[in-house]
């Protein structure tokens, strides 16, 4: 996959600011390049998607989506974006605390490329990004 010279960003959609913080830290320390964009809740998400659709931003290289958020259904979001040609360069990864195999199945059938369980420490996330970057 081409990242068009490291220009494309890495986006995370989550309602937990703690998770957004630690995953952002891990991204910075990993080998995966690209701008880090943390979207906390539906207001942030709406604004970001507006920018991509308006041509202000490129579609991201990687999009990490939480499953259970109060105002956003992670599975439907992945499904919508994966079907959108504008997001054809984007890889989607569902990142969740859920260990329920049914959630994994639902996520993968919605168009997500990976289903990852949230890590307990920073090192785990760094490894996760390095895997992507490699």
Partner 1 sequence: MGDYFSKLFDTSDFPARWHCGDWSEFHGFLHIGSDLAIFGAYMGIPIALITFLWRRKDLPKPIPLIFWLFGAFIVVCGITHLNEAIIFWHPIYRAAGLVKLATAGVSWLTLAFMIPALPHALALQTPRSLERRVEEVTVALRRERDASAHLAAIVESSHDAIISVDGDGAIVSWNPGAMRLFGYGADDALGQRLDLLMPGRGDKLMLAGSQGDVAEFEEVQRRSDGSSFPAALTLSPLLGESGERRGASLIIRDITATRNAEVLFQRAVEASPSGMVAVDAEGAIVLLNSEAERIFGYEHNELLGEPIETLVPEGSRAAHPGFRRDFVLRGAERRVMGQGRELTARRKDGRTFPIEVGLNPIEVGGEQVILSAIVDRTEMRRRQDALEEKTAELERSNADLEHFAYMASHDLQEPLRMVVTFMGMLEGQYANRLDDKAKTYIGFASDGAKRMKQMVDGLLGYSRVDIRGRTFEWVSTRTLLENVRASLQLRIRELNATVQETGDLPTVRGDARQLEQVFQNLIANALKFCSSDVPPSIEISCEERAEHWLFSVSDHGVGFDGAQSGRLFQLFQRLHERSEFAGNGIGLALCKRILVRHGGEIWAEAEVGVGATFYFTLPKNLEASE
d(CA 83, CA 126): 29
Q: Which is nearer to partner 1, 41 or 133 (CB)?
A: 41
Element (H, E) at 94: strand 91-96
Q: Which is nearer to partner 1, 41 or 89 (CB)?
A: 41
d(CA 73, CA 32): 27
Distance in Å, CB of 89 to partner 1, minimum: 29
Binding site for partner 1 (CB under 8 A): 15, 17-18, 21-22, 40-43, 69-71
CB 5 within 8 Å of CB 56: no
Distance in Å, CB of 70 to partner 1, minimum: 4
Distance in Å, CB of 31 to partner 1, minimum: 22
């Amino acid at each position: 996959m081409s990242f068009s010279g490291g220009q494309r960003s890495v986006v995370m959609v989550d309602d937990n600011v703690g998770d957004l913080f630690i995953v952002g830290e891990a991204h910075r320390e990993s080998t995966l390049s690209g701008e880090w964009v943390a979207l906390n809740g539906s207001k942030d998400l709406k604004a970001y998607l507006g920018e991509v659709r308006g041509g202000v931003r490129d579609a991201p290289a990687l999009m990490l989506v939480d499953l259970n958020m109060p105002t956003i259904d992670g599975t439907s979001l992945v499904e919508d974006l994966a079907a959108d040609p504008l997001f054809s360069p984007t890889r989607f990864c569902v990142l969740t605390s859920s260990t329920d195999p049914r959630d994994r199945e639902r996520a993968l059938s919605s168009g997500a490329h990976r289903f990852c369980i949230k890590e307990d420490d920073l090192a785990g996330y760094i490894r996760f990004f390095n895997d992507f970057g490699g």
